[in-house]
Amino acid sequence: MRKTTILAVALLFTLALHAQTRQTICMNDGWKFHLGDVDNAKLSDFNDTSWRTLNLPHDFQIEQPWVEPDPDERPDNTDVAANIKSRLSSRGFKEMGRGWYRKTFTPDEALRGKRLILDFGGIMYVGDVYLNGELVGSTDYGYVGFEVDITQKVRWDKPNVIAVMADTREPNNSRWYTGGGLFRGVSLVATDAQLYFNRHPLYITTRENHIVSLSADVSCRAKKNPATVEMGVRITDPQGNIVAERREQLKHNRNQRNEELRFPDIDIANAQLWDCEHPNLYTCEVTLYDAEGKATDQYAEHFGFRTLEFGPDFGFKLNGKKVLLKGYANHHSLGALGAANHPDAIEKRLKLIKQYGMNHIRTSHNPYSREFIELCDKYGILVVDELYDKWTRQHTGGRSSWESHWQYDVPEWVKRDRNSPCVVMWSLGNELQQDANQAFNDWGVTAFKLQKTLLQRYDSTRLVTVAMHPRYRNWETDSLPCDLAMHTDVQAYNYRYMYFPGDGRRFPWMKFYQSEASTSAMGPNFFEMNLDKVIGLAYWGAIDYLGESQGWPNKGWAQGVFDIALEPKPKAYFMKSFFKPEEPLVHIAVIDSKQDIEWNGIQTGNEGMSDHWNRKPGLKLSLITYTNADEVELLLNGKSLGRKQNPTTDAKHRNQIRWDDIEYQDGKLEAIARNGGTIVARHQIETAGQAKRLVATVEDGTPLKANGLVHVRIHAVDSKGRRVYSAQDELKFTVEGNASIIAVSNGDMASEELNVTDHRRLYNGSALVILQVGDTPGKITLKTSSSAFKTVTTKL
């Protein structure tokens, strides 16, 4: 789609240089890539002309073929003897490997004398960075970013080569699909070389919802170190109005090159608060000035005014108001896109979950991208920000011991996200009770204390927890909470919400959060909690994802309430009924099958459900009407099959009304929900005829953004426009204009089709194609063809 040459990159640099004190130049375009190890690929004179050209973000694992388990392997992710456990079921049945990336650039002469930094959002899973053949940086835990100072190493007036090696070859270094490669962005940052802000420099806190406290991490490299440093602060409100602007001389220790400088508090009158419904974001822009009053560096970051309170009697309060965390815990991958960090795909997910009443995400079990956090700031999503799975070498990259890098990971993670109002709690790990071989051999207590101490050096405004499962140390003999639960600020139990009352009576200071909840037990694990006292819950795997397969040919987790192509399953409406009780709802779910699956000692199998009305005549069916109304009447072809009350006093069945022995007839099945006799919601499903045509729906707003994504959903419909769930025809996608196909999907976790291709079968009468737009304006045309249907043309 794009042709990138050294000249074009140099031109990009030139255009980026203007009257700025800090320049951040995107380096995502025009990388050369090769899958597999290559001798001397790090060298600047290596010939990479035969390599593929691509743009970041990129996940090289998602492009690989599926690897079926060998006959002597167990075809799922169950923990069994090593000689029969499936090697790749946890990793999405994708072969692990190594990939090399190379980018050539010539720095503009205007950058000479500047401090030059390469900023990496992350490298999956471990990686090394070379400049002109020299190792200049590396990461042993690819979920956290890092920077490389190349000021003294860059070549002027000639090409420079960045070479990056990314490695995922150890299949046991993660329990899920990680993706691989340069899955996040890369930037070149140019600043003044004498007086500048360090990495993630700002620490912005608010109190009493109107006072701003601010400190900045500053580096002064002048030969004559000054006694004071001048810093200016400008704060703008959500509407872009300047509400504060000051310059101050701040005392500076001449004996320190790096110092955190504290700015006097700023009072903002009538501050607009940040919350889930009104995510008001302010911008703080800080500027450094040298002794002559010339600006040397400038940095800006969003923040919000909000207060957080946690207590055993009320759970969680945001701005003094009780708020229940209602959300999910998933891994970081983005369905058919793999691990490639596309902000538009993240935004699509956040919009979707808000529609269904969610206000919360736990970033299990690693930091998501900075773009994810910023979008949660924008949409009012409350985040429990998690750093690790378990504190072992195996679970944190595999190349070096956890003990050798946690003290670098913690500051990078906390400093990056601490100014974001969406982050309401830090989580340092997950399910440590399942592995006795944690650091210091005390089930994680010492390791937690060390990490928390370091964390609070950089942020003391949030509570710190660890997600625990089981809640006790010994699965069979202990009745008391595990040792770690006695030290965390919040008692975060995966699944074991039933212990909240007893543990709360023994230890009245405890504050409870169901850090993972089973979708199989959805409903009871919400209504059986004391919602007035708990912090909330996060449903595990609410969106289907690659990896952690529960059996080949499924390529991943399929127990969510949304499929991997982001279409809602019937149970999504059950969740919405109690996550969004103010919105009357009824939805018909036909029970097709029952799945008995145990995972981590927890029953996770859901009833297989669908919401179409094409069955065998005379078949006796069971179904559920999900509703938050008082009663539901069911009608088949206009004939009432009765009315049933919502069992609101029964936590196990609340909002679920079951109907058995419903004899199928072609036609229309309708559910009518009433409150006090008044109709408040309806849902109907109809028998569809034969598929006659395709309908394409663009699910993203217009105009499209340069380099952004477009999601186009294809449905097969009958002559009356009703979706035909039985349609399974092959579709072929072609694009004209400045865009390309980067992924396809259809929600079928068992499909043998790859995601990075230009064709896909319909599944349940549906398919999804994802396009990436280019960087120049123009018309884009998507054509969807099939041997069974007339070609559909979608113009963008």
Q: Could you please report the per-residue DSSP string of 392-434?
A: STTTTTSSS-GGGTHHHHHHHHHHHHTT-TTEEEEEEEE-GGG
Q: Residue 62: pLDDT above 80?
A: yes
- In this prediction, residues 163-175 reach a mean pLDDT of 85
Q: Which residues pair with 636 in a beta bridge?
A: 639, 669
Q: Which residue has the tokens 């663009």?
A: 698
Q: What is the pLDDT of residue 595?
A: 65
Q: What is the pLDDT of residue 375?
A: 98
Which tens digits make up the pLDDT trace of 183-210?
A: 999 999 999 999 999 999 999 999 999 9
Per the structure block, which two tokens stand in for 329? 């815990």
Q: Residue 8: pLDDT above 60?
A: no
Q: What is the pLDDT of residue 7?
A: 37
Which tens digits make up the pLDDT trace of 121-157?
A: 999 999 999 999 999 999 999 999 999 999 999 999 8
Q: Residue 249: pLDDT above 60?
A: yes
How would residue 593 be classed by pLDDT, with cut points 50, 70 and 90? confident
Worst-scoring range by mean pLDDT, 371-380, 549-558, 599-608? 599-608
How would residue 701 be classed by pLDDT, with cut points 50, 70 and 90? confident
Q: What does the angle CA 286 – CA 291 – CA 296 come to, to the nearest 5 degrees?
A: 40
Helix (H) or strand (E) run with residue 457 in it: helix 445-458
> Is the model more confident about 441 or about 235?
235
Instruction: Count H helices and E strands in the chain, helices first.
Output: 8, 48
Neighbours of 637 (CB within 10 A): 11
Q: What is the pLDDT of residue 472?
A: 74
By C-alpha distance, which of 737, 733, 735 is closest to 777? 737
d(CA 389, CA 647): 39
How would you classify the pairing of strands 228-236 and 242-251?
antiparallel
d(CA 723, CA 714): 10
d(CA 313, CA 323): 13
Which tens digits make up the pLDDT trace of 320-364?
A: 999 999 999 999 999 999 999 999 999 999 999 999 999 999 999
Q: Which residue has the tokens 């078949």?
A: 619
Query: What mean pLDDT is reported for the chain?
Result: 93
- Which backbone phi and psi does 377 adopt, to 5 degrees? -55, -45
- Which backbone phi and psi does 86 adopt, to 5 degrees? -60, 130
Which tens digits make up the pLDDT trace of 448-465?
A: 999 999 999 999 999 999
d(CA 648, CA 636): 25
Q: How far apart are the first and last CA of the chain?
A: 17
d(CA 480, CA 678): 49
d(CA 562, CA 568): 4
Q: Is 127 helix (H, G, I), strand (E, B) or coil?
A: strand
Q: What is the pLDDT of residue 82?
A: 47
**Whether the Cβ atoms of residue 231 and residue 290 lie closer than 8 Å to each other:** no
**Whether the Cβ atoms of residue 491 and residue 506 lie closer than 8 Å to each other:** no
Worst-scoring range by mean pLDDT, 74-83, 397-406, 552-561? 74-83
- In this prediction, residues 273-298 reach a mean pLDDT of 97
Q: Residue 438: pLDDT above 90?
A: no
Q: What is the pLDDT of residue 79?
A: 55
Q: What is the pLDDT of residue 442?
A: 86
d(CA 503, CA 315): 15
Helix (H) or strand (E) run with residue 741 in it: strand 739-745
How would residue 1 be classed by pLDDT, with cut points 50, 70 and 90? very low
d(CA 635, CA 336): 39
Torsion of CA 166, 168, 173, 177, to 10 degrees: 110
Q: Which residue has the tokens 């962005």?
A: 185
Which tens digits make up the pLDDT trace of 636-646?
A: 999 999 999 99
How would residue 475 be classed by pLDDT, with cut points 50, 70 and 90? low
Which tens digits make up the pLDDT trace of 93-127?
A: 999 999 999 999 999 999 999 999 999 999 999 99
Which tens digits make up the pLDDT trace of 730-742?
A: 999 999 999 999 9
Q: What is the pLDDT of residue 320?
A: 97
DSSP state string for 227-249: SEEEEEEEEE-TTS-EEEEEEEE
Q: Residue 17: pLDDT above 80?
A: no
Q: For helices 370-379 and 343-355, give the axis angle rounded to 10 degrees.
A: 40
Q: What is the pLDDT of residue 226?
A: 86
Q: What is the pLDDT of residue 669?
A: 98
- In this prediction, residues 494-520 reach a mean pLDDT of 96
Worst-scoring range by mean pLDDT, 74-88, 345-359, 370-384, 579-593? 74-88
Q: Is 337 helix (H, G, I), strand (E, B) or coil?
A: helix
Buried b (16+ CB within 10 A) or exposed e, 201-238: bbbbbbeebeebebbbbbbbeeeeeeeebbbbbbbbbe
Torsion of CA 671, 677, 679, 681, to 10 degrees: -50
Sequence-ordered list of residues with C-beta below 8 angstroms from that of 15, at least 6 positions apart, any chain = none
Q: What is the pLDDT of residue 20?
A: 67
**Whether the Cβ atoms of residue 52 and residue 35 lie closer than 8 Å to each other:** no
d(CA 540, CA 516): 5
Cβ-count burial of 295 within 10 angstroms (0-12 exposed, 13-18 middle, 19+ buried)? middle
d(CA 719, CA 726): 15
By C-alpha distance, which of 513, 627, 530 is closest to 575? 627
By C-alpha distance, which of 519, 515, 516, 566 is closest to 543? 566
Q: Is 613 helix (H, G, I), strand (E, B) or coil?
A: coil
d(CA 27, CA 187): 5
Q: Residue 597: pLDDT above 70?
A: no
Sequence-ordered list of residues with C-beta below 8 angstroms from that of 240, at least 6 positions apart, any chain = none
pTM: 0.95
How would residue 437 be classed by pLDDT, with cut points 50, 70 and 90? low
d(CA 148, CA 755): 34
d(CA 518, CA 689): 37
Q: What is the pLDDT of residue 477?
A: 61
- In this prediction, residues 566-584 reach a mean pLDDT of 98
Neighbours of 680 (CB within 10 A): 17
- In this prediction, residues 372-378 reach a mean pLDDT of 98
Helix (H) or strand (E) run with residue 573 in it: helix 570-579
By C-alpha distance, which of 422, 366, 358 is closest to 391? 366
Q: Residue 9: pLDDT above 70?
A: no
Worst-scoring range by mean pLDDT, 156-165, 262-271, 637-646, 698-707? 698-707
- Which backbone phi and psi does 561 adopt, to 5 degrees? -95, -10
Q: What is the DSSP letter of 279?
A: B
How would residue 415 be classed by pLDDT, with cut points 50, 70 and 90? very high
Q: What does the angle CA 556 – CA 561 – CA 567 come to, to the nearest 5 degrees?
A: 85
How would residue 170 be classed by pLDDT, with cut points 50, 70 and 90? confident
> Is the model more confident about 666 or about 258?
666
- In this prediction, residues 380-400 reach a mean pLDDT of 94
d(CA 694, CA 787): 12
Q: What is the pLDDT of residue 704?
A: 82
> Is the model more confident about 562 or about 606?
562
As a whole-number percent, the residues of the chain with pLDDT over 90 amount to 84
- In this prediction, residues 366-373 reach a mean pLDDT of 98
DSSP state string for 55-96: -SS--SSTTSPB-PPPTTS-SS-----TTTS-SSTTTTTB--
How would residue 775 be classed by pLDDT, with cut points 50, 70 and 90? confident
d(CA 179, CA 91): 8
Chain-centre distance for alpha carbon 242: 32
Q: Residue 14: pLDDT above 90?
A: no
